[in-house]
């Protein structure tokens, strides 16, 4: 009887051990999948964050270029009495105008690529007003 009891006890211990081993393997696989998924989400977030940062820099650069363009207009008004000076300042004004338009167009495209449709439309409206 005692050998049958020992045999049943061994079978129970072995069954219990295999159950725990299987459970640990299952938990390990789930853990690896979770880590992989979190890493993927983190990388996607980092890429999106970088894209938004690039969009922000493009808009900021357009703003700076516009400020310089306004300064060039002031130069035309204040210092453009001489024809050569006027041509020089007007040339700089037109360069900045082109630069601002290009930056705004790039920003609009970047916003569309990021799925920011309403922001892209706002940038397009600003570009239209700037062209006047």
Q: Where are the alpha helices (DSSP H) in the chain?
A: 2-79, 83-113, 117-130
Instruction: Assign 80 to helix, strand or coil.
Output: coil
Q: Is the separation of the CB atoms in 1 and 9 below 8 Å?
A: no
pLDDT at 34 over 60: yes
What pLDDT, in 10s, does the model give residues 89-130? 999 999 999 999 999 999 999 999 999 999 999 999 998 887
In the chain, what percentage of residues exceed pLDDT 70? Answer: 97
User: Residue range 73-85: average pLDDT?
Assistant: 90
pLDDT at 75 over 60: yes
- The count of structural domains within the chain is 1
Furthest-apart CA atoms within the chain: distance in Å: 120
How sure is the predictor about 132, in pLDDT bands with cuts at 50, 70 and 90?
A: low
* Residue 130: per-residue pLDDT: 78
Check: pTM over 0.75? Answer yes or no: no
CA distance 15 to 8: 10
pLDDT at 47 over 60: yes
Mean of per-residue pLDDT scores for the chain: 92
Class of residue 64 by CB neighbours under 10 A (exposed 0-12, middle 13-18, buried 19+): middle
Range of the domain at 113: 2-130
């Amino acid at each position: 009887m005692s050998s049958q009891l020992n045999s049943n006890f061994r079978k129970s211990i072995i069954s219990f051990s295999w159950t725990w081993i299987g459970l640990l393997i299952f938990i390990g696989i789930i853990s690896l999948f979770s880590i992989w998924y979190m890493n993927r989400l983190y990388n996607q977030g980092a890429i999106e964050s970088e894209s938004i940062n690039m969009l922000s820099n493009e808009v900021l650069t357009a703003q700076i270029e516009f400020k310089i363009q306004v300064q060039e207009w002031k130069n035309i008004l204040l210092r453009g009495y001489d024809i050569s000076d006027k041509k020089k300042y007007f040339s700089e004004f037109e360069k900045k105008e082109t630069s601002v338009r290009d930056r705004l167009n790039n920003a609009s495209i970047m916003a569309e690529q990021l799925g920011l449709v309403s922001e892209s439309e706002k940038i397009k409206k600003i570009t239209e007003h700037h062209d006047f």
